Structure 1
């Protein structure tokens, strides 16, 4: 993995040129800004609703919080550069922020499948061993699983960012992509690309397929348990508890698997198509996750309705003594 016989340079900044062919950059930038805003609002709402409601302090909701924090971290990290290019018309990104962005992207993209797999494990224990659920998934065990997930994500992201940080770069500092990440930075370096791409391909494929296999095995066990139930009402109720998670699994893994299949069959994508797939497969699942859990999870949906009802204070509340006072509603709420 020695550098090629080309002159290397000390790179202090990179030039993001992946959006140069976009016809309406302001419109695309506004769309990305709207998606980011929805991701942040939805994820923060889920976190706050769960954090401030003790009845929701259960393993499943802790895993939802962890997933929401992952979505916030790495979608924000990559969107800053894209918005800066599209709306701010500033294509330059300094070296250090580029490395930080590379770390955040791979930190989130490696944590996300593990976070989703943990949620499948939660559903497996809840359905297969309902009486032992709280003894298996204690708060301590849940915290350890979440910390382990974050540690694995940090380790993988540090490995990839460390490899990129030690590479020699050639004369051009242009990145014909949307943001800084391992594959894009490798292409700008003076190294034998096959060695470095084989490494990331093996690592990424292992993470993706291992977590997907764990999820599939978990749901095979869940299906077996559900089939054994005698009541159709119980089967339907149990299945409904998994719907939200299955939507999240589909939204995350289907685009990733399609990208792998497309590259494996040798289909050559244009640069704009590749950038679009990467952006869509990154922002899309993070947008769907909070919306799904806000709309499909009965407990979170119920808490949100309760909060909005409490905030709707009528100024014409009649007190028990017949007087019409604004502060009566507040007293009644307390």
Structure 2
């Protein structure tokens, strides 16, 4: 499909991923994240900074999955591969935003644990619910402002060769590559976003957990060390699930490694949909308070059903 300018009808997505896998990932992600959000809201004991972060992460994961997977499923099931131009640009903007917010949120969580372990006496005054809320709000505003110029850049692109995107989703870099105005300057905004919202937070996260590990080794009691390392391992699992597949998605093509479209799509799913599915599972099993709250919720629900019978 060839167009001489910005495609009025939209972009055509190419998708070849198993339906059952996508549907399973989306169902588990929706159920798990909604469950985590529910138990945090219903349990007043969980109205604390760290659990606000975990609840916000669940909201981000819900948004991430909902931005991507329903459209992928419609492409496969209904054959509706054409995406209107405005909808494609909106998906790019929203996807970049939730990715950047998750990166910032993981950095906030690392800082929370850093203060809790290294400066435990200052923690109650340094990390409060109000400060957590302000930090999340400001990072959202900053992220939207930082990415607003991408909308202007996209509007400058014209598509005289093709409007077929070889993936299950609308991707900014791919849109630039298939345009007839492909220039390096159009990739600068994406590169800047990767550095500001990806590289810098990752360096901060690794530095924080390194400092936490050093401080934990100084703790004399075995129980204290075990508690600190257990918390750190939980968060590092979430960080690894987020950063490692994303790094593969961007580094492999940049390094000149040729991979098929299907493999690229699979890596993308692993990088974005799988963490959204796994994060609530990790916190449900490894966080004792969330685990207990989920058990109490199901026991209460079961008791209610038995009384109704």
Q: Tell which has more relative contact order, 1 or 2 (C-alpha 8 A, sep 6+).
A: 2
Partner Cα separation in structure 2 for residue 75 and residue 178 of structure 1 = 13
How many angstroms apart in 2 are the aligned matches of 1:182 and 1:209?
19
CA RMSD of aligned residues (A): 2.3
The corresponding residue for 1:236 is 226
Q: CA deviation at 1:171?
A: 4.8
The whole-number CA distance in structure 2 between the counterparts of 1:261 and 1:185 is 18
Partners of 1:59 and 1:189 in 2: CA distance: 45
TM-score (structure 1 length as normaliser): 0.85
Equivalence for 1:320? none
Aligned counterparts of 1:90 and 1:242: Cα–Cα separation in 2:
43
Give, in angstroms, the shift of residue 238 of structure 1.
1.8
Determine the C-alpha separation between the residues in 2 that align with 1:315 and 1:220: 48
Q: TM-score, normalised on structure 2? A: 0.92
Does 2:288 align with 1:292? no
**2:261 pairs with 1:271:** yes
Is residue 8 from structure 1 mapped to residue 12 from structure 2 by the alignment? no
Aligned-residue offset at 1:153: 2.8
Report 1:174-189 matches (<5 A): 174-189=164-179
How far, CA to CA, are the matches of 1:57 and 1:7 in structure 2?
A: 53
What does residue range 170-209 of structure 1 map to in structure 2 within 5 Å?
Answer: 170-209=160-199
How far apart are the structure 2 equivalents of 1:294 and 1:265?
A: 37
Moved more, 155-164 or 301-310: 155-164
Determine the C-alpha separation between the residues in 1 that align with 2:232 and 2:66: 28
Give the secondary-structure state (helix, strand or coil) at the position aligned to 1:245. helix
Q: Deviations over 1:171-202 (max 9, x none)?
A: 53222221112112212322133222244234
**2:11/2:83 contact within 8 Å kept:** yes
Moved more, 184-193 or 223-232: 184-193
SS in structure 1 of the partner of residue 303 of structure 2: coil
**Which structure's residues are more often helix, by fraction?**
2
Aligned to 2:293: 303
2:243 paired with 1:253: yes
Q: Distance in 1 between matches of 2:42 and 2:121?
A: 26
Does residue 70 of structure 2 align to residue 80 of structure 1? yes
Measured after TM superposition, the shift of residue 315 of structure 1 is 9.1
Which structure 2 residues correspond to residues 1-334 of structure 1 after superposition, within 5 A?
8-19=4-15, 22=16, 28-313=18-303
Q: Is the 8 A contact 1:13 1:94 kept in 2?
A: yes
Larger Rg: 1
Q: How many residues align?
A: 308
CA distance in 2, matches of 1:267, 1:252: 21
Equivalent position SS for 2:10: strand
